[in-house]
Amino acid sequence: MRKRILDFIVSLIMIIFLSVIFLIVSVIVKMKMGSPILFKQQRPGMNGEPFELYKFRTMNNRMDVHGNLLSDEERLTAVGKFLRKYSLDEIPQLFNVVKGEMSLVGPRPLLLEYLPLYDDSQAVRNHVKPGITGWAQINGRNAITWEEKFKLDAWYVNNRTFLLDLKILFLTFSKVLKGEGIHQDNHVSMEKFKGSRDVM
């Protein structure tokens, strides 16, 4: 209950405090990439229940001659790189937190297609609400492997406390300001998870 109260109050305050930035980013995304301004995608929430995640768009919709979307590297715009570097693309998720679909702190909501790929130790990440930031984010973010990320997520689920959440929130601001650990080496985003046996 205390965690939910913290999530709701802090998210509302941040939405009000960041409203000008939200408006500015919305205008820039609209001018540089057109509509829609928000990227929406079904992601697994607590116990794997799907919800619609909100983010600012960071990629355009450029396609090849066959009508297939180009790679992430080719579609990521200069504006998108800036938004990702400082996590400004994540601001709309504050509305997910207010709605109770996410928490400020928890394992990041990944793709629905990953759910059947988790082993028992990795699946514990679904026992709590996903978060805007988490233990894995302040310990490497996308610069670490999937296996390392899942171990950190599982550690958080098994050791979470109110004070730990406060520590993660505090350290997150430092990481964001420094732009640390945003990308995996040689990739603009994490490579897709294919199951532990495929990556070992």
pLDDT of amino acid 194: 84
- For the ranges 16-25, 60-69, 148-157, 175-184, the lowest mean pLDDT is seen at 175-184
Indicate the pTM of the whole model.
Answer: 0.87
Domain ranges of the chain: 2-199
pLDDT confidence band for 60 (50 / 70 / 90): confident
Number of continuous H segments (helices) and E segments (strands) in the chain: 9, 4
- pLDDT of 149 strictly over 80: yes
- Distance CA(78)–CA(60), nearest Å, equals 11
At residue 192, what is the residue type? K
In the chain, the percentage of residues whose pLDDT exceeds 90 is 66
Q: Which residues pair with 69 in a beta bridge?
A: 63
- Distance CA(35)–CA(33), nearest Å, equals 7
Q: Which residues pair with 113 in a beta bridge?
A: none
Looking at residues 118-133, what average pLDDT do you find?
Answer: 95
pLDDT of amino acid 29: 95
| Pair of tokens at residue 171 | 């350290």
